[in-house]
Amino acid sequence: MTDTRQKQGKSLFIRTYGCQMNVYDSERMAGLLKPLGYSLADAPDGADLVILNTCHIREKAAEKVYSELGRLKKLKADKARQGEAMKIAVAGCVAQAEGPEITARAGYVDMVVGPQAYHRLPELLARAARDDGDILETDFAVDEKFDRLAEREAEGPTAFLTIQEGCDKFCTFCVVPYTRGAEVSRNVDAIVAEARALAAQGVREITLLGQNVNAWASPPPAGEAGDAWGLGELCRHLAKIDGIERIRFTTSHPRDMDDGLIAALGEEEKLMPYLHLPVQAGSDRVLKSMNRGHTAEHYIGLIEKIRSARPDIAISGDFIVGFPGETASDFEETLALVEAVDYSSAYSFKYSRRPGTPGAAMPKQVAEPEKDERLARLQALLERQRQSFNEAQIGKTLPVLFEKTGRHEGQMVGRSPYLQSVHVSASQSMLGSIAPVKIEGITPNALAGVLVKDNEAAA
Ligand code: 5AD
Ligand code: SF4
235 appears as a binding residue in the annotation: no
348: Cβ below 6 Å to ligand 2? no
pLDDT of residue 131: 67
> 212 CB less than 6 Å from ligand 1?
no
Residue 79 lies in a domain: yes
Q: CA–CA separation, 286 vs 325, rounded Å?
A: 7
β-pairing, 87-91 vs 111-113, is: parallel
**Does residue 4 belong to any structural domain of this protein?**
no
Atom 2 in ligand 2: which residue has the minimum CA distance? 171
Is residue 52 domain-resident? yes
| Sequence-separated (6 or more) residues with CB below 8 Å from residue 170 | 177, 291, 358
Cα 297–Cα 298–Cα 303 angle in degrees, nearest 5: 95
**Which is the closest atom of ligand 2 to the Cα of 253?**
5
Give yes or no for a contact between 343 and 382, defined as CB atoms under 8 angstroms apart.
yes
404 and 330 within one domain: no
Measured from the Cα of 280, ligand 2's closest atom is 7
Residue 55, annotated as binding a ligand? yes
Give, in order, the Cα–Cα distances in Å from 49 to each of 112, 127, 128, 213: 13, 14, 11, 32
What are the DSSP calls for 255-316, one per residue? GG--HHHHHHHHH-TTB-SEEE---B-S-HHHHHHTT-SS-HHHHHHHHHHHHHHSTT-EEE
Nearest ligand to the CA atom of 211: 2
Domain boundary among 84, 109, 141: 141
323 lines ligand 1 (CB under 6 A): no
> Quick one: 311 and 188 in the same domain?
yes
Looking at ligand 1, which atom is closest to the CA of residue 174?
A: 7
Q: Are residues 294 and 405 in the same domain?
A: no
Point out the ligand 2 atom lying closest to the alpha carbon of residue 177: 8
- In this structure, the answer to whether residues 342 and 210 fall within a common structural domain is yes
Mutation test residue for ligand 1: of 275, 349, 352, 362, the one with most atoms within 8 Å of CB: 349
Q: Are residues 99 and 176 in the same domain?
A: no
- Give the model's pLDDT for residue 137: 74
The answer to whether 174 is annotated as binding is: yes
Asked if residue 5 is part of any domain, the answer here is no
Between the alpha carbon of residue 33 and those of residues 111, 124, 176, 298, the distances in Å are 15, 11, 26, 46
Whether residue 382 is found in the same domain as residue 273: yes
Q: What is the pLDDT along the chain (459 residues), one digit of tens a residue?
A: 334 444 458 999 999 999 899 998 999 999 999 989 999 999 999 999 999 999 999 998 888 999 999 999 999 999 999 999 999 999 999 999 999 999 999 999 999 999 988 888 888 888 877 766 667 777 766 666 776 665 677 789 999 999 999 999 999 999 999 988 999 999 999 999 999 999 999 999 999 999 999 999 999 998 999 999 999 999 999 999 999 999 999 999 999 999 999 999 999 999 999 999 999 999 999 999 999 999 999 999 999 999 999 999 999 999 999 999 999 999 999 999 999 999 999 999 999 999 999 999 999 999 999 999 999 999 999 999 999 999 999 999 999 999 999 999 999 999 999 999 999 999 999 999 999 999 999 999 999 999 997 545 444
Is residue 280 in contact with ligand 1, taking CB distance under 6 Å? yes
Tell me, what CATH number does 194's domain have?
3.80.30.20
Atom of ligand 1 nearest to the CA of 278: 18
Residues 6+ apart with CB under 8 A from 259: none
| Whether residue 164 has its Cβ less than 6 Å from ligand 2 | no
Asked if the structure places residue 273 within a domain, the reply is: yes
Q: Could you say which ligand is closest to the alpha carbon of residue 180?
A: 2
Listed in sequence order, the residues at least 6 apart from 130 whose beta carbon sits closer than 8 Å to its beta carbon are: none
Cα–Cα distance list, 57 to 291, 336, 350 (Å) = 17, 26, 12
171 CA to centre of ligand 2 in angstroms: 5
181 Cα: distance to centroid of ligand 2 (angstroms) = 11
Question: Which of 251, 296, 305 has the alpha carbon at shortest distance from 278?
Answer: 251
Span from the CA of 171 to the centroid of ligand 1 (angstroms): 9
Domain interval for residue 133:
10-141
Q: Determine the pLDDT at residue 4.
A: 40
What ligand is nearest to the CA atom of residue 19? 1
Same structural domain, 30 and 151: no
Q: Which ligand is nearest to the CA of 18?
A: 1
Domain of residue 24, CATH code: 3.40.50.12160
Q: Where does a domain end: 113, 141, 169? A: 141
Q: Considering its fold, how many domains does the chain have in total? A: 3
Whole-number Å distance, alpha carbon 172 to ligand 1 midpoint, is 10
Which CATH number covers residue 425? 2.40.50.140
**Do 382 and 443 fall within a single domain?**
no
Determine the distance from the C-alpha atom of residue 128 to the mean position of all C-alpha atoms in its chain, rounded to a whole number. Answer: 30
Same domain, 430 and 332: no
Domain boundary residue, one of 94, 120, 141: 141
Q: Cα separation of 39 and 34, whole Å?
A: 6
Q: Whose CA is nearest to atom 6 of ligand 1?
A: 174
In a domain, 3, yes or no: no
Residues 203 and 335 in one domain: yes
Kindly state whether residues 176 and 299 are assigned to the same domain.
yes
**CA-proximal residue: ligand 1, atom 16 (nearest):** 57
User: How many angstroms separate the alpha carbon of residue 190 from the centre of ligand 2?
Assistant: 25
Same domain, 405 and 264: no
